[in-house]
Structure 1
Amino acid sequence: MKTLALPALLAGALSLFTPLPSQAGPTFIADVEITSFDGTEIDANLFIPETPAPADGYPTVLFTNSWVLDKNQYLAQAKALAENGYLVLSYSTRGFGASGGTVDVSGPNTIADARVLIDWLEAHYPVGKLGLAGISYGAGTSLVVAAQDPRVDAVAALSGWSDIVEGLYPNDTVNLVWGTLLTLTAFNLDPAVDTLWSNLRSGNDIDSVYNFAAPRSALSYVDQLNANGTAVLMSNNFADYLFKPNSMTQLYSLLDGPKKLMLNPGTHAVGEILGGNEGHIWATSFRWFDHYLKGEANGIDSEPRVDMTVRISNRREQFADFPVTDKTARYYLHPRLSYFNNASMETGTYSGWGWNNEFHGGADTKAGTGIPLLSDVLEGFGIPIYTNMTGINGYYAIEYNSPLHWSTFRIRGTPTLEMWIVPSKPEVQLQVHLYDTDAFGWGRLITHAPFTLRNATVGRAQKIALELFTTSYDVPAGHVVTLAIDTQGSIYQKPADTHYDITVPYRRDRQSVLTIPHL
């Protein structure tokens, strides 16, 4: 029996308790069938404002559903927009809800469907400026449609992606939990997608995965979005281990037109679906449309472009741009004496004699991301992931502690790690975690990232480089930052052979360094 992903369950529950729109305000047409370019029937619903259309047409919003959900997902939001004078069409993408066809993951058929829906709206109603909005699948799809159709004036992409590969294959590591959930919950999935997921898991024909992902990823269409002048709003969540903030911050940095970025605590889509972050995400999305579709002078175009909410405390901050700071702390890795000691991170380079540390594959440790999905949801409500750092097995992991922080260390942005290693097998995996550790040895997870080295030269020292997932976190005074590295993670696929050793060499000419952006 197929199991729904947690965000989908929450979204479905929300839809069940959303009251049906009354007929006192906008006109609501619950069932609209629109024939797409290939004869496929696309199921939709429509809100028509009770007010006459302005001279330049109704400001119009097209809502695209999340994975496994349908046209009824956004009833509350669509009704609110219609009461504010918007024409709103919500639809089920092909393969979902009552729409025909198969799910091609924002492929050419799905993108063509959206353009047909825009044609249909323009043929039947006075359409003014046009916006697209959606959560998750709806967000990624909206960005690609906007790039390919210059009629789209604004987008609100919530918990979306700009790079599918980063979502399912971060740092050459199979995102097993999230990928499995996605493939099991789409009942009308295009068989080609199942083949690609199988190839990804087996490591066969990885080029086909990249070829599949590129035309479905907004990062491939930066030039078109810039040429169209599309006003792009993006919202992503720090503990979203499906669509991490990193590729969205990259897209944000490449856009030349109007843009806004919101980074929030919590996991994939839950904040947007449940009105989290004190309703800030949807309220800002509505203001975005009010300005760029209705022309209201509400000031959103002159406000700071980045809203970043600090993890755990849920305190919202605003910044002019991303990256939000150019200050960094650089910590150089220094060796440990034995499996029973922690190593250290120092502000000065390692200048001692040549030294090696080893840790081993074959077992997980207490370093990790908590209970898959559940821990990530709870973090959005200020409940952190705790780990007893003293209980991490030094044979299967290595820990590096920073000097004590005498004042609050305000991490903002994307930490990076450059590290020299010597693998004992062609394929090895590192699970890299950053913790806030108190005086009693309890650590709270700040961020993490996986890294899988494939086809490595056995026994040769090589430098790996990776980005940890973008974060916003305050390390209290009296705490240290701990870099904890082991070889297995609960949401990622392990190498077929987990019995390997990883040696970390320390040399004057081979410096391993962790760089942390901070205020």
Structure 2
Amino acid sequence: MTPSRTTLRAAIGTVSAAVLAATVLTGAPAHAAGAADSHHTGAPASPATSAAAFPSVRFVDIKGEGGITLKANVFTPAGADGTRRYPVIVLPTSWAMPQIEYMAQAKKLADAGYVVVGYNSRGFWQSGGKIETAGPQDIADASKVIDWALAHTPADPRKVGMGGVSYGAGISLLTSAFDKRVKAVAALSGWGDLIDSIYTGRTPHLQAAEVLGGLGDLTGRPSPELQRILKDFLSADMSKEKDMIAWGKKRSPVTYIDKINANGAAIMLGNAWGDSLFPPNQYAAFYEKLKGPKRLEFRPGDHATAEGLGLFGLPNDTWTDTERWFDHYLKGADNGIDRESPVLLKSRSTGAYEGYKSWKDVPSAHRRIALDGSQRIHTNLDSGADGGLIFLSSMMDQFLRLPPMASIPLLPRSLAAVWQSAPYETGQRVRGTTRLHTTVTSTAESGTAIAYLYDVGPLGIGKLVTHGPFTFHGKTPGRPFGVDLDLFSTAYDVPAGHRLAVVVDTVDPLYISQNPIGSRLTFSSPANDPSYVSVPVRD
């Protein structure tokens, strides 16, 4: 028998509650009780005194926009007696996550002297309302949670912070544009531009939309607007494109960048190189537009995996920097985070950290691979080159350094256009955003192509460095047109003796391809406009 949605909700909630409750009550992950905690500042309390040492926690109902109920939990520092005020941090939950998502980190922050309010975003689990996907109601909810915290806890109205993972990150950034009380934000695995995230190069991200839609339906109540947008998105209905883009822009922090900058909140952005939902490019572009105090961190992994283990109380660099960010910009602690290089990258290849003055300073040079000649390919058949599977592939890269691979010599040239560099005498440290420029001629007015950059070893096995999709519409069949495409940003080291390969095909399980049956694409390099791939490197 297939379990009902209610049954699945209850099962997920029960397991999550058990694990996270154990984390909160023991001060360590449930499966490793008593393990060392890098954020704990004192010895574990004895059973006789532990109750006095722990911050207080209570579950409350907060009235959100329109009178709906938001389910929340509140952590207050131990010993708070109403005689002093504490900085407050508001944490909206991630998409489909229950209200206990942040309890381990909330306890750590409360131990450090913060009031912390985590709440279930509207439309999910037991919170009221419909899923509005970071719409105006969600922003209004966040402000009402701040109102409640200032009225019902010893929170300092001059020291308000917001943060969260994924959906909570997006809501926090948007709220910083509309609520001047927010002084600091830590937005982890979030988005600056929703359209550029899931509609990169006018190409619908199939697996991302299906996962988000499925989890929303399982754990919440999608609004009619969200249901309509998802239907149009997954059908790739071009007559609805303007409506979809307008819907996404309304929910993109970059749309309100002037308001965010005017309010001046200190904003920390963290993301993973292989984020399947919100690729790093759009976060880097958003970061460059910020004018106030800011920080950008990229690490290996996929969506929310760079900070995910920290939700269980495990030592985690992203959450460590999050607390340091709040400590400086809410408490005024002189911990040096404001003097560090504001752009922090972790290499996918070595795991080493690198600091830079700005995103533009990450590459020191750009090296071109010429896309010479003319190559014609058939569409709608997978060549074997692809970006992998959502979540799984980038996690394999994060934990095992095994990105998606393909045998470059065996790729059928009727389905994939292939160009290769000469072997490099010295290693190439790819850092930043690879850009493709080419001329395309199609036998149809619309189509989709995906460009890949591979690190190719002596045996011809290519490891995926990066990729990016593009889709075109309204082109005259048989007439060449130019294409400029940014592949997803990365930090990857190509060993000496290896070469880079550029592959372009028309099918990838991550995306919706829009190639008419029987169509063909030709990639050429006119003498007056040569085709190339520009690879950013750090010498």
Superposition TM-score, scaled by structure 2 size = 0.88
Matches of 1:72 and 1:86, distance apart in 2: 17
Secondary structure of the 1:302 match is coil
Q: Is the 8 A contact 2:271 2:306 kept in 1?
A: no
Secondary structure of the 1:82 match is helix
Q: Which of 127, 137, 146 is the matching residue for 1:109?
A: 137
Matches of 2:404 and 2:287, distance apart in 1: 29
Q: What is aligned with 1:267?
A: 302
Q: Which of 310, 313, 318 is the matching residue for 2:350?
A: 313
Q: What is aligned with 2:24?
A: 21
Structure 1 residue 362, shift from structure 2 partner:
2.5
Q: Deviations over 1:421-478 (max 9, x none)?
A: 1011111111110000011101110000011111211110100111000100110000
Matches of 1:264 and 1:288, distance apart in 2: 17
Of the structure 1 ranges 283-292 and 491-500, higher mean CA displacement relative to structure 2 is found in 491-500
Unaligned runs of at least 5 residues, structure 2 = 26-50
Matches of 1:82 and 1:64, distance apart in 2: 16
Q: What is aligned with 1:168?
A: 198
Change (3 A) 1:440 1:102: same
Change (3 A) 1:220 1:426: same
- Is the aligned partner of 1:515 residue 2:515? no
Secondary structure of the 1:21 match is helix
Q: Is the 8 A contact 2:56 2:78 kept in 1?
A: no
Secondary structure of the 1:508 match is coil
Q: Is the 8 A contact 2:193 2:249 kept in 1?
A: yes
Of the structure 1 ranges 13-22 and 109-118, higher mean CA displacement relative to structure 2 is found in 13-22
Secondary structure of the 1:422 match is strand
- Is the aligned partner of 1:479 residue 2:498? yes
Unaligned runs of at least 5 residues, structure 1 = 336-355
Change (3 A) 1:360 1:480: same
- Is the aligned partner of 1:409 residue 2:428? yes
Matches of 1:385 and 1:312, distance apart in 2: 14
Q: What is aligned with 1:76?
A: 104
Q: Is the 8 A contact 1:47 1:88 kept in 2?
A: yes
Q: Is the 8 A contact 1:106 1:141 kept in 2?
A: yes
- Is the aligned partner of 1:283 residue 2:320? yes
Of the structure 1 ranges 438-447 and 47-56, higher mean CA displacement relative to structure 2 is found in 47-56
Q: Is the 8 A contact 1:10 1:270 kept in 2?
A: no
- Is the aligned partner of 1:157 residue 2:159? no
Secondary structure of the 1:488 match is coil
- Is the aligned partner of 1:295 residue 2:297? no
Give 2:372's aligned amino acid.
H
Structure 1 residue 300, shift from structure 2 partner:
0.2
Q: What is aligned with 1:430?
A: 449
Matches of 1:271 and 1:249, distance apart in 2: 16
Structure 1 residue 98, shift from structure 2 partner:
1.2
Q: Which of 13, 18, 42 is the matching residue for 2:70?
A: 42
1:118-267 to 2 correspondences below 5 Å: 118-128=146-156, 129-187=159-217, 188-202=221-235, 203=237, 204-267=239-302
Superposition TM-score, scaled by structure 1 size = 0.91
Q: Which of 70, 86, 93 is the matching residue for 1:65?
A: 93
- Is the aligned partner of 1:362 residue 2:380? yes
Give 1:497's aligned amino acid.
P
CA RMSD of the aligned region, Å? 2.2
Change (3 A) 1:498 1:469: farther
Q: What is aligned with 1:328?
A: 366
Q: Is the 8 A contact 1:312 1:380 kept in 2?
A: no
Q: Deviations over 1:372-416 (max 9, x none)?
A: 431121111123322211221110001110121111101100011
Structure 1 residue 510, shift from structure 2 partner:
2.5
Q: Deviations over 1:326-382 (max 9, x none)?
A: 4111222112xxxxxxxxxxxxxxxxxxxx321110210111122343112111112
Matches of 1:255 and 1:369, distance apart in 2: 30
Q: Deviations over 1:2-51 (max 9, x none)?
A: 999xxxx9999666423253443344333200112311011100001124
Structure 1 residue 142, shift from structure 2 partner:
0.7
Q: Deviations over 1:141-169 (max 9, x none)?
A: 11001111110011110000111112221
More helix by share: 2
Q: Is the 8 A contact 2:448 2:515 kept in 1?
A: no
Matches of 2:297 and 2:329, distance apart in 1: 17
| Matched-pair identity in % | 33
Q: What is aligned with 2:48?
A: none
Give 2:441's aligned amino acid.
V
Secondary structure of the 1:272 match is helix
Give 1:319's aligned amino acid.
Y
Q: Which of 375, 386, 397 is the matching residue for 1:379?
A: 397
Give 1:189's aligned amino acid.
P
Give 1:291's aligned amino acid.
H
